[in-house]
Amino acid sequence: MADIPSDAPEHCPGTTSEQAGKSSACQGCPNQTVCASGATKAPDPAIEEIKLKMATVKHKILVLSGKGGVGKSTFSAHLAHALASDDSKEVALLDIDICGPSIPKIVGLEGEQVHQSGSGWSPVYVEDNLAVMSIGFLLGSPDDAVIWRGPKKNGMIKQFLRDVDWGELDYLIVDTPPGTSDEHLSVVQYLSGAGIDGAVIITTPQEVSLQDVRKEIRFCQKVKLPVIGVVENMSGFVCPKCKNTSQIFPPTTGGAQRMCEELGLTLLAKCLWTPRGSVPHSELEFLSLCFEGRSCDEGKSFLNEVPDSPAAAAYQTIVQSIKNYCSSNLTSAAHTD
């Protein structure tokens, strides 16, 4: 939890809990007196600091998944690339997967380092208008393990949001780890003052993935985080010879489409494994180099590699849906003000 100090005992109820400083687990804790006084229940000052820092960021989008290995980080990277393809837009990609930072590899920045300036940490740039920040840039080697408990993870996320020199941005894409744990709670809490446009949720068709995605959706509902839409990845494989589609992960319970219908959510895309040269069956069914292992391993964006492909055109359709959502969100906020 974001409100548990790093020096707290094992069963700490949390500094904002009604039992803070009063629980039996608090006995002997160096923070007991402060917690019992009620001072810790005040809002984290970092929330206001981050709100001021994010005043120059127009849109903030989280990319979530209940299950790991569904292509969430790849989607985040190519979403950022797609948004940055408009030279008039400034885009940043923040990787808060503290224990499994894959974004530096996916965007071709592995081995790069973060530099400190008078205005904070300087992000690493893929393009002139696409900045990236990840704990991967702070490690000595890509093989180094980050073995941290929740409080240290939360502290790092706070630093990413507050201390990075983001400058003026049109879009900040936040790539999160799987699940609904410390990182998710922290980023939602710290951005509560600045406001989050919403979340894009990535899944695969089979029920074992959808079960976890439903938990992710419940998390969004509980923390009042709007869901922009759902992307079903790995929906099928298009044979490069016969062009028939095989379902690698059969949607035994109807896949993301039925789930979205039941929960009243928008299905943004059903993504196929489509080898180069294959033609997607529809705008909702696409995939080219985007989700091939080679594209990620080489740190390339298929939008730059094959910009005129049907897959790239379809991907832009999905990105346009996200842009439209953000624009309407901005308009609504302006009317409210």
User: Per residue in 10-48, pLDDT tens?
Assistant: 778 877 777 787 888 888 888 888 888 776 666 788 999
Q: What share of the chain in percent tops pLDDT 70?
A: 83
56: DSSP letter: G
| Tens of pLDDT, residues 169-211 | 999 999 999 999 899 999 999 999 999 999 999 999 989 999 9
pLDDT score at 333: 57
Cβ partners under 8 Å of residue 67, min gap 6: 178, 203, 204, 208, 209, 212, 213
In 3-state terms, what secondary structure has residue 272? Answer: strand
Q: How far apart are CA 266 and CA 198, in angstroms?
A: 12
| Tens of pLDDT, residues 47-101 | 999 999 999 999 999 999 988 888 899 889 989 999 998 999 999 999 999 999 9
Q: Residue 182 in contact with residue 2, Cβ under 8 Å?
A: yes
CA dihedral 46, 47, 50, 52 (to 10 degrees): -110
Which amino acid appears at position 162 of this protein?
Answer: R
For the chain, what is the radius of gyration of the CA atoms?
A: 21
Identify the residue with better confidence: 38 or 291. 38
pLDDT score at 311: 59
| Tens of pLDDT, residues 256-284 | 999 999 999 999 988 776 655 444 444 34
Please give the helix or strand (H or E) that residue 163 lies within, else none. Answer: helix 150-163
pLDDT score at 313: 65
Per-residue confidence at 295, pLDDT binned at 50, 70, 90?
A: low
pLDDT score at 242: 73
| Tens of pLDDT, residues 224-245 | 999 999 998 887 776 767 767 7
Average pLDDT of span 302-329 = 77
End-to-end CA distance of the chain: 33
CA dihedral 170, 269, 95, 305 (to 10 degrees): -80
